Amino acid sequence: MKMFDNLSFKLTGAVAALAMTASSGWAEDRVSAVHAFPEFLVYTKTFLAMVDDINARGEGIVQIEVRGGPEAIGMFQQPAAVRDGIVDMVHTPGSFYGANVPEIDAMVAATVTPLEARANGGAEAMDAAHQSRFGVKHLGWIDGGVKFHIYTSKEPVFDDNGVLDLTGVKLRDNPIYHAFFEALNATTASMPATEVYAALEKGVVDAAAWTEIGLMDLKWDEFMKFAIEPPFYNTDIGVIFNKESWDALTPESRELIQSVVIEWEEKSYNDRQTSVTEDRAELEKRGMQFVTMSDEASANYLKMASDAAWARMEGRLKEMGDDGSSYETMRKLYHP
């Protein structure tokens, strides 16, 4: 009888150990996420497709639950939400929290692509800045290689040097290009992208900057009839992750998420180049006029934009007590 008791005990222990092993093997890391823009915009579609890719490859390892967009947490409040651990992961423009991580302006004014920044150490330096200043990891630069136009409902005016003059123009503002608009004498009004259609409809604003793609998704082309050439800046949309939440993931989960994001840096960059060509053709078909400045005026216009971004970054870093080393590092990596 004692022999059977010992055998029963051993079997019970073995079953329990097997159950524990299976349970730990089946346990998945769970990640919560939100995105800055509405679901119908191409940038959000990219993010959601990337999440689907991670979830498909991460079955049994890690799963990301997307809780919504700006309707769930306001787009300008999302960076603080991921920093504070309210959500684990956010897909957002870096300029929405640029006052906290000034280095993001290097991405705005970059002359390198996301792929080049990944290869030359720029992505690593950007991640380090995010971790030290904001308590988040910067996993990647998504949908890069897309620039901005200023779109207007009225025929644009140029100064004596042929450079766009926005004096008296009511322009929708955004953190990414506020410093540049000040240099162009614009009267600005800051508002989320979701409110701009109504503002255009009511005449609260008569111009806005937006990327080379997506204007028609927002239906702003119903009001905007002119696009100013040349385009300027870069989209600075990235994926940031709460540092404590990231460290709590298994190494396997971290490796999977990071590797997929890096893959999508390249994929989304290539896809968006096609989107830029297609959107321009369709806008011209709908009657959009692309107004081009002279070569000299264009060069001055782009220099004003670049100088504004780098000066803002340098000023913010100085206020934080940076000795100039971070500015010089980012300048070398993102504007060689």
* Spatial separation of the C-alpha atoms in residues 186 and 32, rounded to whole Å: 39
Domains of the chain: 28-145+235-274 (3.40.190.170), 148-234+277-334 (3.40.190.170)
- 3-state SS, residue 158: strand
- Which of 196, 188, 238, 239 lies closest to 214 in space, CA to CA? 196
Which amino acid does the sequence have at 285?
K
- Decide: residue 276, CB within 10 A, 0-12 exposed, 13-18 middle, 19+ buried: middle
- Which of 269, 122, 77, 99 lies closest to 178 in space, CA to CA? 99
Q: Per-residue confidence of the chain (336 residues) as pLDDT tens digits?
A: 444 444 343 444 444 443 333 334 558 999 999 999 999 999 999 999 999 999 999 999 999 999 999 999 999 999 999 999 999 999 999 999 999 999 999 999 999 999 999 999 999 999 999 999 999 999 999 999 999 999 999 999 999 999 999 999 999 988 888 889 888 888 888 898 889 999 999 999 999 999 999 999 999 999 999 999 999 999 999 999 999 999 999 999 999 999 999 999 999 999 999 999 999 999 999 999 999 999 999 999 999 999 999 999 999 999 999 999 999 999 999 999
**295-319 vs 325-334: helix crossing angle, rounded to 10:** 150
Across 182-197, b (16+ Cβ under 10 Å) vs e yields: eebebebeebebeebe
Measured CA distances, 170 to 2, 163, 205, 224 (Å): 90, 18, 5, 13
The two structure tokens encoding residue 96: 């929405």
* Spatial separation of the C-alpha atoms in residues 98 and 95, rounded to whole Å: 5
* Spatial separation of the C-alpha atoms in residues 326 and 315, rounded to whole Å: 12
